[in-house]
């Protein structure tokens, strides 16, 4: 599988982010939570320090997987593999129930049915092989 062409949709796991991708493989979305006094902020994507107060006392926390749609853009053209074979797709920014805002993709929802604030649930796309499971979101009403 290492001879495949370069792909631009697969994140690189390093020692820091490995727990995140291991959880994703199990179908769980992790966020980071600051434990500093007076802060307690949750954030995403994962960073080694709190983006609000710069504390390094930050731990992993399982997110509920619930989110609401903040904004989106339907992408009709992307020349980077493998996106070219996947257009159109819906790139989106969602607000996780825990607070952090996350860049992702909406699946299983026609463009005409997208609404700001609509309820979403996380879903993990299996990219096959040894690739990581990538979190995407779909309408909560249609989720099982
Ligand atoms: Zn903090």
Give the mean model confidence (pLDDT) for residues 44-63: 96
Task: Write down the pLDDT at residue 70.
Answer: 98
3-state secondary structure of 25: helix
What pLDDT does residue 126 have? 77
Confidence of residue 5 (pLDDT cuts 50, 70, 90): low
Q: How far apart are the CA of 52 and the centre of ligand 1, in A?
A: 5
- Residue 55 CA to residue 41 CA, distance in Å, equals 10
Q: What is the pLDDT of residue 3?
A: 47
Mean pLDDT score, 81-108: 91
Ligand 1 center to 77 CA (angstroms): 38
Measured in angstroms, how far is the CA atom of residue 89 from the centroid of ligand 1?
Answer: 34
Exposure string of 62-84, with b = 16+ CB inside 10 Å and e = fewer, is ebebbbbbeebeeeeebeeeebe
Residue 20's pLDDT band (boundaries 50, 70, 90)? very high
């Amino acid at each position: 599988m290492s001879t495949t062409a370069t792909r631009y949709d697969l994140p690189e796991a390093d020692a820091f982010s490995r727990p995140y991708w291991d959880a994703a493989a199990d179908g769980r979305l992790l966020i980071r939570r600051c434990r500093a006094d007076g802060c307690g902020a949750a954030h995403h994507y994962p960073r080694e320090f709190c983006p609000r107060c710069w504390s390094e006392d930050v731990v992993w926390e399982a997110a509920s997987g619930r989110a609401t749609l903040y904004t989106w853009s339907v992408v009709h053209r992307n020349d980077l593999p493998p996106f070219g074979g996947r257009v159109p797709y819906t790139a989106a920014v969602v607000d996780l129930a825990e607070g952090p805002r996350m860049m992702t993709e909406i699946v299983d929802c026609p463009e005409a049915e997208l609404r700001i604030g609509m309820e979403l649930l996380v879903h993990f796309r299996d990219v096959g092989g040894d690739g990581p499971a990538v979190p995407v979101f779909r309408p909560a009403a249609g989720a099982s």
